[in-house]
Every structure is written in C-alpha cells, then in structure tokens.
Amino acid sequence: MNACVASFAVSCESGDRTGVRTLQREQELNRFLAEVEKRALRIAEISVRDRDEALDLVQDAMIKLARKYADRNSDEWTPLFYRILQNGVRDWHRRQAVRNRVLVWFGRPGNEDNDYDAIASAPDPGGRTPDEQLQSQEAMQTLEIAVGDLPARQREAFMLRTFEGLNVAGTATAMGCSEGSVKTHYSRAVHSLRESLGEHWQ
Amino acid sequence: MKERKDKVADEAFADKAKQLFDESVEGLDGETRSRLNRGRQAALNELTAGRSVWVQWAPAAGVAAAAVVAIVLWTGNPPVDELTPEASATDFEILLAEDSFEMLEDLEFYSWIDLDEDAEVAVEAEDIVG
C-alpha cells in the first residue's frame, strides 16, 4: 500500500513540476511577445503599408512561434519570430501580386501600394511640442515611404538591423540567408535611403 | 578617409532612423495596443492547448493507477488470518492420527523393505541376462 501511495505522490509531483515549468515558459513567452510586438507591428506595417494586415501578420507570427518554437531557448526566439514574420510578409506580397493580376484581368484597377495614407496611419506621439511632433511625424512618414520602396531584401535587412537592433547573425537567421548577404543588403539599403531622402532629412 | 566618413554618416543616419522609429512605436494608439494584446493572448492560449495529452491527464492517470493497485492488493490476496486456522487444523489432524505415529516408529522397517525390493529386481535382471 505504501508503494501505491508513493507512486501516486510521484505522479502528482511530476505533474506539478511539468505544470510549473509550462507556466514559467508561458510567462517567459508572454514577456518576450509583449516586448517585441509593437516594434514587429510597425515593421510589418512599413512592409505591407496597412495596419490591419500588419496586425494579422504579427498575430499569425506570434501563434506560430508559440505553437512550434515555445520549447526553444528564449535567446533564439527573436530571430525565429522575425523569420516567421518576414515569411508572412513575403507570402502577403505574393498574394497581393496575384490578386492585383486577377483584378486587372477583370478590368478593375488593383489595390496599389500607393493607396497607403501615411498621415492617416501616423502614430500619435506625446510629450513634445506640436511643432516637434509634426517634424518627427513628417520625418518618419518620409522614412517609412522610402523604406517601403526599397527592394524586399534590403528593406528586411535595414529594418531588422536598425529598427529591431538584431546583430548580423540574428538578421541572417531571420532572413534565411548568409551573414555576407545581410551586410550587402544592409549597406545598399542605407546608401539608397540616404540618397533618396537627401542631406536635409538628417 | 572617405570610407571612414561614409561609415560615420551611415551610423548617424541609422541612429536617427532608429530614434524616429522608436518614437512611432511609443506613439501607437490604445486600440492598436489592445489588439496586439489580444493577439498575444491568443498565441499563449495556443501554447496551453499544445500541451501534450499525457501531461494534461497525468494527475488523473496517477490517481487511477493508484486506485487499481489498491483494489488488486485488497481483493487479490486473502488475508493471512484466514489461512492460519485452516493450516493449523490440518496439521493438528495429521499429528493426532494414530497411523502417522506408527509409521514414524517403523521407519527402519519401511526402509529395509524398500532396499529388499531393489535387490530382488536386480537378481531378476541378472537371471534374464544369464
């Protein structure tokens, strides 16, 4: 009978340990997603130029990360999360391209990227004078449009390195390419942006 | 020299871009933040739902296994107290039987008969061969 009670106790203890571990993992993942979600949204928004679509893409990326990679080391989550998100953005662009071709075939104009209203989707920063806010908003809107016009790989490299602050190795993992490619794409992106925005932007 | 100047200018550009980006992130409106929060909760629910069935049912399985073992131990083997009187009674009957005592007294006789039978069998076998 003692053996029976002991096996029950071990079973319960094992279940409790697993439950505690899962709860800790859940809290850890919650902290990670809460920390990264706003920047991820803005990065996706600049890529697809639509906040609702960007919100869907970020949510999909969060769900996929939780479903497939929650048991990975938390250090790996950032590049994995952005890899999922970038794949989602690429799929979105492919679907949009197909959709636009179909709409053109039926004689209706496609939903061009130029429909993006940077002013309407501009954030509402606080704590500064209206002039400062306006200047910052205008500068960010100009930057957003310029970044959005970059070739996809350059845009990804620039946003992951500059906006998210990933290092070269992390960016390479997120983009699914070599570190050398990241350096090339990033360098070209910065030069292209500086050229298109002009000296006065700085 | 020019490369160094370019590098400094690139870094300054990236710093400003980062600063503007961070400001735009901080300026996200309440509705967007709320939607992000809901999306995050949906992802975390996925994590909970993804726990293996074994882990979810482990405590219940432990209780069930313990109950089965307890039932087997309780009903499978009769208590020792019920066995003891029967064994004692049987032993007592054997000990009380008079034949048993006689057999114990004549053990040497039975042993001699057994040896004699073996010897007769050996002689018969030699006659057949001879």
Per-residue pLDDT of chain B (130 residues; tens, 9 = 90+): 677 888 898 999 999 999 999 999 999 999 999 999 999 999 999 877 755 555 556 666 677 778 877 777 777 655 544 444 455 555 556 555 555 555 555 666 667 667 776 666 666 666 665 5
pLDDT of residue A194: 93
A7 → closest Cβ in B13, B37, B66:
B66
Find, in chain A, the residue whose alpha carbon is nearest to that of B9: A194
The 3-class secondary structure across chain A, one letter per residue, is: CHHHHHHHHHHHHHHHHHHHHHHHHHHHHHHHHHHHHHHHHHHHHHHHCCHHHHHHHHHHHHHHHHHHHCCCCHHHHHHHHHHHHHHHHHHHHHHHHHHHHHHHHCCCCCCCHHHCCCCCCCCCCCCCCHHHHHHHHHHHHHHHHHHHCCCHHHHHHHHHHHHCCCCHHHHHHHHCCCHHHHHHHHHHHHHHHHHHHCHHHC
Any A CB within 8 A of B48 CB: yes
How much of chain A, in percent, has pLDDT values that exceed 90? 63
Any A CB within 8 A of B66 CB: yes
Q: Where are the domains of chain A?
A: 1-115, 117-202
B43 → closest Cβ in A62, A123, A139:
A62
Q: Tell me whether residues B16 and A202 touch, CB distance under 8 A.
A: yes
Find, in chain B, the residue whose alpha carbon is nearest to that of A17: B55
Contacts of A45 in chain B (CB under 8 A): none
Contact between A160 and A82 (Cβ < 8 Å): yes
pLDDT of residue A10: 52
Give the Cα separation of B17 and A154 in Å (integer): 15
Work out the minimum CA distance from B26 to partner chain A, whole angstroms.
7
A125 → closest Cβ in B26, B32, B48:
B26
Q: Model-level pTM?
A: 0.65
B46 → closest Cβ in A37, A67, A191:
A67
CATH of A117-202, one of 2.60.120.10, 1.20.1250.20, 1.20.1560.10, 1.10.10.10: 1.10.10.10
Does A77 score more than 80 pLDDT? Answer: yes
Contacts of B3 in chain A (CB under 8 A): none
- The predicted model gives A72-79 an average pLDDT of 94
- The predicted model gives A153-176 an average pLDDT of 96
Any A CB within 8 A of B84 CB: no
Return the H-helix or E-strand segment holding B8: helix B2-26
Task: Identify the residue among A11, A192, A199 best suited for mutation to test binding to B, counting B beta carbons within 10 A and taking the highest.
Answer: A11
Q: How many residues does chain B have?
A: 130
Find, in chain A, the residue whose alpha carbon is nearest to that of B68: A4
Does A83 score more than 60 pLDDT? Answer: yes
pLDDT of residue B46: 82
